[in-house]
């Protein structure tokens, strides 16, 4: 198909960009005169400091998405929630495999928590992966996203951002009603989604919430030219139970269990079912599908008044299992099964002493992974080492101090120890069985400052981040990008990062605005590079600490009230970054290139209507991205996902409306991609939906 886009923004995109910037200028002017109301109504968040704090008083760029947002936007998967986050790009290798890029980083360079428990483990891959999609978005109470490094509080992986999912409180659910049914239908995705959930009191001190979700996704109807995309559907089943018991007013015991099962999730762009778009190549596999299963159980004790040691304490004991099986049929008809099981034992002890004016938070964490890995074509290992273990041991401390003039200083530090022990690894040179054992130490810190003024709040600071090599870095033997196979890479060193940030936020009677500038210095980044060898018809790549780099950006988000019912909203993000890589097998050829899948200029803006007391609401919005033409060598080689010259620009119009009936039933109707545009997010393996009608009904009982 001939390319029909240029490297310039279209007229619609130019107009929309001007519209967004006009909102920012107007908001800035309005808010210099608006009465400051920040604090009293600002939502409380936990992830930024591990204690409850107001967003307005916290020196980080933060986004919170609640149940109402999730239901009204009808997000298909949890990664899609990040579409609303400035500075985030949601890449989808296929509809069941989504991974957000936060400030230029994805995969194991972002950290996900569930009620304080790490989802990340030692087999998470570099680049986009599907593991965040194993969290049932319908079972979430709210999500907090803190952008930038948070390694001083959360350790390895917390580089581009730290996201935390909070599950639902059964006492709140029982108070609001016993439960609800949810049904959702999507025309372009040919999907049906449902959930039933109930919350009940047991006496006066105990309560539970339980839910079941079922999801079936079919073929995907693209825009006006690409049409139907087959071989992308899959099924998913989710269940969760949470029990809470209160011991008076000073202690709470929580027990949670989650289980997620995804069947036959395809990696479509690698197969013959892929459709060429703007010249992308089509895969040769007859089938490449993943079965994913995840279970999480934890026991958590929250208590107050621990005397000399702490005013508040939290102890978490968790057990998590992630299972993955890949079923691949090659073009010659040969079949290969491979997969792994990761069992993770986690323990967290967190203590807090003092109050908002002077508070210490300190504690320790320990996570132990046990990995079993297999392959029908390799008796030594599967996609990662077999008979392997990985340990993370961390000590952390943070002090929040209120200074004169209401300045708030937050200083934190963390010591981390990581150790890998792989008992069965295939040597990349001899092909024989070998073993691997290594460990790393890191000490990182963070210093952040909030400066309130009469008209706004400024925040700034420096934060260090690090990521220890995991078993995926060290021992992976699996397909990578188009026509690539990755082989084990021992002797790697930790990646290190330093971010400086300057932000401005203001909330007033007329709306709100937040602008953030940041720059991240990168040291010893682990990247893939070709070896020059061919294995089973694919180009071999290995990992190396290629060296230094940087990423910098600007983000803006704002909302402006036009009347008691109408408001404008929008966000915009710009990103730039480079890092040294080895683009070929010649190790003397080390050069600086754009970061892989560098996010283009992206934004969203819209007009919302909602009147107090009215059962109706509605929004009209536009999502857009400029052309992603800043490509690395590996981007250029990824011909099945990235068109020649880069991913074309797009502008997509969406219409949403809803009505509540008798406080018990809410009906939401969405029309996504009104103009039936053909588009894909940079680096994705399939195009997004064309014109898509979504009907969602949530009925309480």
Q: pLDDT tens digit string along 610-649? A: 999 899 999 999 999 999 999 999 999 999 999 999 999 9
Terminal-residue alpha carbon distance, the chain? 52
Does the pLDDT value for residue 41 go beyond 50? Answer: no
Instruction: Please give the DSSP secondary-structure letter assigned to residue 161.
Output: E
pLDDT at 280 (0 to 100): 96
Q: Lowest mean pLDDT: which of 61-65, 484-488, 643-647? A: 484-488
- The SS3 of residue 568 is strand
Tokens read off for 305: 């008044």
| Entry pTM | 0.92
On average, the pLDDT of the chain sits at 91
pLDDT digits (tens, 9 = 90+) for 502-541: 999 998 888 999 999 999 999 999 998 888 888 877 888 8
Residue 16, H or E segment? helix 11-31
pLDDT at residue 234 tops 70 = yes
- Rounded CA gap, 403 and 450, in Å? 10
Q: Is 435 helix (H, G, I), strand (E, B) or coil?
A: strand
Cα–Cα nearest to 213, from 246, 187, 186, 180: 180
pLDDT score recorded for residue 482? 76
Whether the CB-CB separation of 478 and 434 falls below 8 Å is answered with no
Using 50, 70 and 90 to split pLDDT, how confident is the model at 42? low
CA dist., res. 33 & res. 29, Å (int): 7
pLDDT at 10 over 70: no
Q: Per the structure block, which two tokens stand in for 600?
A: 């283009």
All structural domains of the chain = 11-700 (2.40.170.20)
Instruction: Check: CB of residue 691 under 8 Å from CB of residue 671.
Output: yes
pLDDT confidence of 146, banded at 50, 70, 90? very high
Give per-residue pLDDT as tens, 381-400: 999 999 999 999 999 999 99
Segment 102-130 shows an average pLDDT of: 94
422 closest CA partner among 443, 437, 412: 437
């Amino acid at each position: 198909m001939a390319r029909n886009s240029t490297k310039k923004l279209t007229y619609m995109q130019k107009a929309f960009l001007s519209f967004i910037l006009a909102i920012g200028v107007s908001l800035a002017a309005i808010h210099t005169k608006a009465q400051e109301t920040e604090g009293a109504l600002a939502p409380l968040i936990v992830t930024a400091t591990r204690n409850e704090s107001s967003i307005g008083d916290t020196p980080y760029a933060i986004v919170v998405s609640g149940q109402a947002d999730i239901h009204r936007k009808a997000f298909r998967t949890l990664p899609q929630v990040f579409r609303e986050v400035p500075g985030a790009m949601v890449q989808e290798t296929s509809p069941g495999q989504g991974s957000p890029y936060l400030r230029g980083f994805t995969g194991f360079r972002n950290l996900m928590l569930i009620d304080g428990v790490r989802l990340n483990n030692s087999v998470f891959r570099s680049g986009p992966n599907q593991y965040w999609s194993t969290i049932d978005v319908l079972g979430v109470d709210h999500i907090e996203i803190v952008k930038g490094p948070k390694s001083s509080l959360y350790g390895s992986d917390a580089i581009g951002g730290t996201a935390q999912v909070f599950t639902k409180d059964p006492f709140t659910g029982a108070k609001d009603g016993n439960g609800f049914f949810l049904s959702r239908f999507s025309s372009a995705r040919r999907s049906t989604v449902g959930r039933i959930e109930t919350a009940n009191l047991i006496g006066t001190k105990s309560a539970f919430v339980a839910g079941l979700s079922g999801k079936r996704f079919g073929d995907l109807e693209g825009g006006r030219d690409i049409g139907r995309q087959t071989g992308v559907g899959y099924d998913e089943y989710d269940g969760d139970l949470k029990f809470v018991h209160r011991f008076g007013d000073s202690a709470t015991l929580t027990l949670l269990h989650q289980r997620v099962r995804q069947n036959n999730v395809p990696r479509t762009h690698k197969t013959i079912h892929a459709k060429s778009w703007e010249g992308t190549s089509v895969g040769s596999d007859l089938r490449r599908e993943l079965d994913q299963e995840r279970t999480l159980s934890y026991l958590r004790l929250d208590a107050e008044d621990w005397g000399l040691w702490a005013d508040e304490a939290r102890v978490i004991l968790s057990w998590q299992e992630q299972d993955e099986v890949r079923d691949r049929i090659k073009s010659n008809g040969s079949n290969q099964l491979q997969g792994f099981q990761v069992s993770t034992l986690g323990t967290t002890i967190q203590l807090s002493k003092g109050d908002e004016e002077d508070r210490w938070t300190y504690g320790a964490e320990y996570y132990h992974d046990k990995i079993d890995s297999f392959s029908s074509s390799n008796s030594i290992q599967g996609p990662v080492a077999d008979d392997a273990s990985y340990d993370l041991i961390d000590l952390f401390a943070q002090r929040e101090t209120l200074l004169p003039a209401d300045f708030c200083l937050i200083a934190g530090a963390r010591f981390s120890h990581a150790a890998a022990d792989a008992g069965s690894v295939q040597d990349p040179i001899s092909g024989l069985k070998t073993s691997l054992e290594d460990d790393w130490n890191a000490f990182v810190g963070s210093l952040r400052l909030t400066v309130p003024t009469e008209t706004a709040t400024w925040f700034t600071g420096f934060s260090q981040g690090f990521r220890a090599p995991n078993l995926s870095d060290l021992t992976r033997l699996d397909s990578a990008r188009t026509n690539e196979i990755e082989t084990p890479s021992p002797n790697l060193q930790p990646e290190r990062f330093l971010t400086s940030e300057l932000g401005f936020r203001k909330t007033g009677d007329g709306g709100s605005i937040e602008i953030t500038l940041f720059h991240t210095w990168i040291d010893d980044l682990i990247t893939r590079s070709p070896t020059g060898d061919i294995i089973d018809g694919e180009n071999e790549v290995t990992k190396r600490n290629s060296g230094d780099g940087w990423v910098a950006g600007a983000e803006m988000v704002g909302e402006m009230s036009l009347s008691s019912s109408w408001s404008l909203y929008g966000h915009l993000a710009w990103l730039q970054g480079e890092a040294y890589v080895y683009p070929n097998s010649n190790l003397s050829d080390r050069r600086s290139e754009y970061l892989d899948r560098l996010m283009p200029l992206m934004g969203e803006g819209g007009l919302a209507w909602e009147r107090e007391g009215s059962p109706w609401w509605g929004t009209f919005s536009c999502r857009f991205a400029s052309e992603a033409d800043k490509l690395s060598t590996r981007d250029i080689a990824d011909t099945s996902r990235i068109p020649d010259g880069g991913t074309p620009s797009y502008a997509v119009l969406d219409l949403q409306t809803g009505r509540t009936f008798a406080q018990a039933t809410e009906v939401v109707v969405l029309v996504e991609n009104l103009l039936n545009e053909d588009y894909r997010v940079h680096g994705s393996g399939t195009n997004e939906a064309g014109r898509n009608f979504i009907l969602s009904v949530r009925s309480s009982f």
